[in-house]
Chains A and B, each alone.
Chain A
Amino acid sequence: MNEHSASDPVYKTDSLIAEDIDAYLELHQNKGLLRFITCGSVDDGKSTLIGRLLYDSKMIFEDQLATLEADSKRVGTQGQEIDFALLVDGLAAEREQGITIDVAYRFFATEKRKFIVADTPGHEQYTRNMVTGASTADLAVILVDARKGVLTQTKRHSYLAHLIGIRHIVLAVNKMDLVDYDRETFENIVEEYAAFAREIGIEEFTAIPISGFKGDNITQAPSENTSWYEGPSLIQHLETVEIANTAAQARTFRMPVQWVNRPNLDFRGFSGLIASGEIAPGKPVRIVPSGKTSTIKSVVTMNGDLERAVAGQSVTLTLEDEVDCSRGDVIASADDPPQVADQFEASIVWMSDEALIPGRAYWLKLATQTVSATVAEPKYEVNINTMEHLAAKTLELNSIGVAEVTTDRAIVFEPYEDSKALGGFILVDKITHATVGAGMINFSLRRAQNVHWQALEITREDHANLKNQKPAVLWFTGLSGSGKSTIANLVEKKLNLMNRHTFLLDGDNVRHGLNKDLGFTEADRIENIRRVGEVSKLMADAGLIVITAFISPFRAEREMVRAMLPEGEFIEVHIDTPLEVAEARDVKGLYKKARQGELKNFTGIDSPYEEPEKPEIRIDTTAMTPQEAADLVVDKLLGSG
């Protein structure tokens, strides 16, 4: 069944290997590298196609083939014939289900190129895997079953490939053997696809009729069965498309700094992977965001200094001047530096079971910069089957939307369509550390560039000195009925007797005014805490000792407030009362209502309370009286101040 490919010229030629290994190695030393992704739905024959590519390029060894033959008979779906899909479907659990469920990377090579294939599943719930695989790909092979034509999945995969910025699309119409290699069937599918592709902005694509199972038009074209086909074979096409890496060289120079190399006082180098353009000694550069300029002194590698380096190379640069530059900065061409902003519009793919919470702070990593960022309520979500824009309050797992992103400090960026390296980012949950989302910057929002801080002449130190105290925020957190307000009141009374300037922000009181527009959903509770945090910060700036009493059930928001304040000014006080005890007290009768279902999202009942991991002060209310607790808090506060 493989007779036509064994001696194909595109694959490694046994004769050259045997006769002149040095010539062969020379040839292979200088190959290029193309990364591509294959997408198709479960039955489109994707794994079979990849298995075929590996098989034809002899990436399968005899012992693997023996295992494959045995497996094919045992669990294969092709009767007694070899089931190439088994080569590719790796993990044991998947083998039993008969589907691929994650992103797997495969390797093969021809005479001209080495290929890395990202194999991603076609199942509806796995958008995140496809986006992951596509993010590093130069090209996408979209598989269509010739018997079924363009399906919803085909559109979805094409949309995602286009969204993630893949410029080369191959429409591989597979299983041509099952439609008798019918030209009209192929052409109808191509026509239908072309209409759709135009709609979503795909400017061009290459359509190839193939049979992954039989091998038609995989290595050579046209195959005997498709004599009417005039285009290249799949491999021929893969060997000749332009590689994105080369395109990046044509743009202006940018290198995000990964690491500062300082072996001794005489050497200071900046290490990074060149994202775009090229660089050489003597070229003027600008460090962004600081804006400082200098000139490249040398391009250092272990194999000797380079006369020039280009996009895609990892190098270490030294500069003529002693300028500040560290991880997160971008070294760019002096006359055309990238933008800096702290507010963007971005397309976001959500990748976590836990939906996006607008307003919550996540870590955002873009190139080598990591900052705290919040995502606003999406402007819209995209229905990836119909491409319609839908109204959305959040983004669930595998959904894609457009939203504003605000970072806590300005970052260096470029729109994603200009630079994947400076326009693509990931979002990381601050508590679980999971990668929960991926984003692509569309553009910065004008107002980010126009809001400036007003420099104030009376500083926060002046305010504090006048009051003769060190400002602080005593942040009480705990279940409803744990005793927060009681103890907070006692603390404030005690501090006032000691002539300290204080202010108590109480949960219930704030909800009557500042936050009366907010409810008790997760998103509203986060906004509630964010506002209280900002107010506390202003009061601390004014020199006050702020005492707050809020349930503040989520760790992420408490950490957000901590991050707003100077180190040491946020003092987390955990009023640790077991749920049974708080519920037994039930001063306001709220637990009873919550248990009866009259109150929704009640902390401890149907909404979680995330205990502080390392509070500065922990009060066990079952072991001390409120007065003792207040004494302890005041002692700790003044002791540390």
Chain B
Amino acid sequence: MQRLTHLERLEAESIHIMREVVAEAQKPVMLYSVGKDSAVMLHLARKAFFPSPPPFPLLHVDTTWKFQAMYELRDRMAEEAGMDLLVHHNPEAKERGINPFDHGPLHTDMWKTEGLKQALDKYGFDAAFGGARRDEEKSRAKERIFSFRTASHGWDPKNQRPELWNLYNARKSKGESIRVFPLSNWTELDIWQYIMAEDIEIVPLYMAAKRPTVERDGLLLMVDDDRFPLEPGEEPQMRSIRFRTLGCYPLTGAVESEAATLPEVVQEMLLTTTSERQGRAIDKDEGGAGMEKKKQEGYF
């Protein structure tokens, strides 16, 4: 008798999900945000289809405001996996110069929410893998692994299909598309343990190093390039920091840390008492129901 560990079972489940999508969807795509969850998802995809490369492209819905280190890793990982990398920029956001400094929530809405809808429509993808986990946030806990979106990309939490055993119903009506979350049952600790066990490369920003920072509205921001408008008298300080999540650099708060290795990062995570998404401004809008509302409007 061979007892499978929780990581082995989670891996097997995620691989099974990905293969079901490839077998039943017409044109799948994997959303790739370059974060640690995306890194795990991509790694699982490579395992699922080995020795073939994963039979779908990667799609990065870019805001042009990600950390430089993310762009570097993104291009390299896609090449290593032998997959096409599609990068989408919302042309309207580009034209209007939407940015996180001047436009607040509109920045996320235009670049990410609208950008994603545009990209899915443009290429006609009918199934998109996303790296969201159920432990991240309350409304996600109730979302199915195969989550349907209307033609306008809306989510109706009251009208989800029952999902039994590991039988996924991938049939959809005209115009509908599916978001598939193969990491649904993973927790943040599982992700970290798997990254260590499988030696998965992640963006170095997750590990502590001296980096130029400024403190604003209670968030510790990294000055990643010269587009960062410094206020009069503001001077970037070198601090030893790392990131628990990675998004647009002007919206992502760092934590002061000396954890420079993976075990140290995990150690710090287990001993800290603030949850992962706390560094992100996005969840705080509209109280506890913020994310649910965003998802109904088409946020991934």
Contacts and interface: CB of A to CB of B under 8 A. Distances in A.
A432 B46 contact: no
Contacts of B7: 29
Contacts of B271: 14, 17-18
Contact-residue size bin, chain B (C-beta under 8 Å from the other chain)? 35 or more
B51 A424 contact: no
B292 to A, nearest CB: 6
Of listed A25, A62, A363, residue having the most chain B CB within 10 A: A25
A438 B162 contact: yes
A90 B139 contact: yes
A520 interface: no
B23 A92 contact: no
A512 interface: no
Contacts, number: 205
Contact of B167 (A25, A313, A424): A424
B169 A18 contact: no
Contact of A28 (B9, B19, B169, B193): B193
B189 A109 contact: yes
Interface in B49-73: 49-53
Interface stretch (B26-34, B89-97, B118-126, B259-267): B259-267
- Interface residues of A toward B: which range? 35 or more
B289 interface: yes
A312 B1 contact: no
B141 A105 contact: yes
A12 B270 contact: yes
Given A32-B3, A102-B160, A428-B171, A302 B52 contact: no
B16 to A, nearest CB: 4
A51 to B, nearest CB: 12
Interface centre among B13, B23, B196, B266 (most CB of A within 10 A): B23
Contact of A136 (B8, B166, B274): B166
Contact of B164 (A64, A132, A432): A132
User: What secondary structure prevails in chain A residues at the interface with B?
Assistant: mixed
B292 A128 contact: no
Contacts of A116: 185
Nearest to A131: B164
A91 B142 contact: yes
Contacts of A18: 267, 271
B7 to A, nearest CB: 7
A300 B173 contact: no
A396 B3 CA distance: 41
A368 B52 CA distance: 21
Interface in A1-24: 12, 14, 17-18, 21-22, 24
B142 to A, nearest CB: 5
Interface in B254-283: 263-264, 266-267, 270-275, 278
Interface string B142-179: 10000000000000011011111111010111000000
Contacts of A129: 162
Given A261-B51, A263-B51, A300-B50, A29 B165 contact: no
A61 B19 contact: no
Given A246-B1, A246-B3, A313-B12, A301 B142 contact: no
A30 B158 CA distance: 38
Given A25-B266, A33-B9, A132-B164, 13 more contacts: A31-B5, A61-B278, A64-B275, A92-B289, A92-B292, A128-B162, A263-B53, A301-B50, A302-B50, A314-B11, A426-B164, A426-B167, A432-B173
Chain A to chain B: the 6 pairs with minimum beta-carbon distance, closest first: A92-B289, A62-B273, A61-B275, A33-B6, A90-B138, A314-B15
